[in-house]
Amino acid sequence: MREPRRFDTAEARSFQHVFRHAEAGIELHWNARNHRKGRSHPLKTADGAYAARVRYRLFALQWRSLSWWVAAVFTFGSLVWLVNGLGSVLPLSDAPVIKAEVPIWTAVLGGGIFLIGAYLSWLEVLNAPRYVLLFRDDEAGHSRALHADNHHLRWFGLRPANWGYWLNLVQLLGATIFFVPCVVGALLAKHPAINAFAWFWLPQMIGASWFMIAAWMAMREVQPTALSPAWNSLGWWSGLFNLLGAIGFFLCAWFGFKSDFENPMLSNGSTFLGSCCFLIASYLMLIEIINPEGPEGRHQPRSAPGEPSGG
């Protein structure tokens, strides 16, 4: 394997960029989401585009990957919220313990897990490697791109020029606001004097609104243009289901406020549907991480491979 050609992602002024290696005639189609999640970037040459063939996996443990932990934490949190929704809509909800305790404490747990996941997502942006390394793999007969490792973890920081930074900051703020009613919900039964609208319903609607904005930003990040859906991107579909989940949680608060706890059917149903969407979104993100050579990064050559150099 020859010495790599290094591309500096600081040169990218948007969440999509084309890096060109003029000497080798190679184009690396870089995307900000793929980069921070350690996914492949399509490589295009005069002979076509190349990517490694890998076995598609539905689950894997990647303890050393921050991106894997982001997806795993959100998946677990979504499962907790699904239990919350089921406890509200199933006939078993007539049981006193399930009706009174399960929705309260699963909301506290689920809200806390979402807050942890949002913080890990923010760390993912702060710790995304700055460089992409392009190697010439003589054994495989083509070039391939790898991500440079920073070898340290930043817990706080600023990256204001980065779209992903603002996306995940919005999500973190939304999760923080949303966690307030999750805790207040556990207090309402014993402290009915608490203003339910100000401390329970309104923060839910505000937090869910921030979730909707973050989901749209995640979809936009992988779209080729503002009005062109990225149908072949797992990240886009994950963003779409996150958007639907956020709408479900917003409607939960809206219907709950309108009925003032008197008719919870629409509110509980919205929580259940929103939880289902969040679970789908989180699992798609998990698949996205454990399969770095995804549909948007796997291109077969249009003709027989030539001999491009990696620099």
Q: What are phi and psi of 133, to 5 degrees?
A: -105, 130
**Which span out of 40-54, 178-192, 231-245 was modeled with the highest average pLDDT?**
231-245
Highest mean pLDDT among 59-63, 105-109, 132-136, 239-243: 239-243
**How many residues does this entry show for the chain?**
311
- Residue entry with tokens 């491979």: 305
pLDDT bin (cut points 50, 70, 90) of residue 298 is very low
Q: pLDDT for 18-46, tens place per residue?
A: 887 766 677 888 888 888 888 877 777 76
6, 5, 46: which is closest to 26 by C-alpha?
A: 46
User: With 80 as the cut, is the pLDDT of residue 289 above it?
Assistant: yes
* pLDDT for residue 214: 96
Q: What is the pLDDT of residue 145?
A: 61
| Tally of CB atoms within 10 A around 50 | 22
* Position 237 pLDDT exceeds 90: yes
**Half-sphere exposure (Cβ direction) of 263: Cα atoms closer than 13 Å:** 5
5-28: b or e for each residue (b if 16 or more CB lie within 10 Å)? Answer: bebebeebeebbbebebeebebbb
Question: What's CA 199's distance to the chain center, in Å?
Answer: 28
3 state DSSP class of 39: coil
- Please, which pLDDT band fits residue 268 given cuts at 50, 70 and 90? confident
Domains in the chain (CATH in brackets) are 61-129+152-290 (1.25.40)
pLDDT band at 177 (very low <50, low <70, confident <90, very high): very high
* Tens digit of each residue's pLDDT (9 = 90 or more) over 97-121: 666 678 888 999 999 999 999 999 9
Query: pLDDT per residue over 137-156, tens digit each?
Result: 555 444 556 666 656 788 88
What is the pLDDT of the chain when averaged over all its residues? 81
Pairwise CA distance, residues 280 & 146, whole Å: 29
The percentage of residues in the chain with a pLDDT greater than 90, rounded to a whole number, is 38
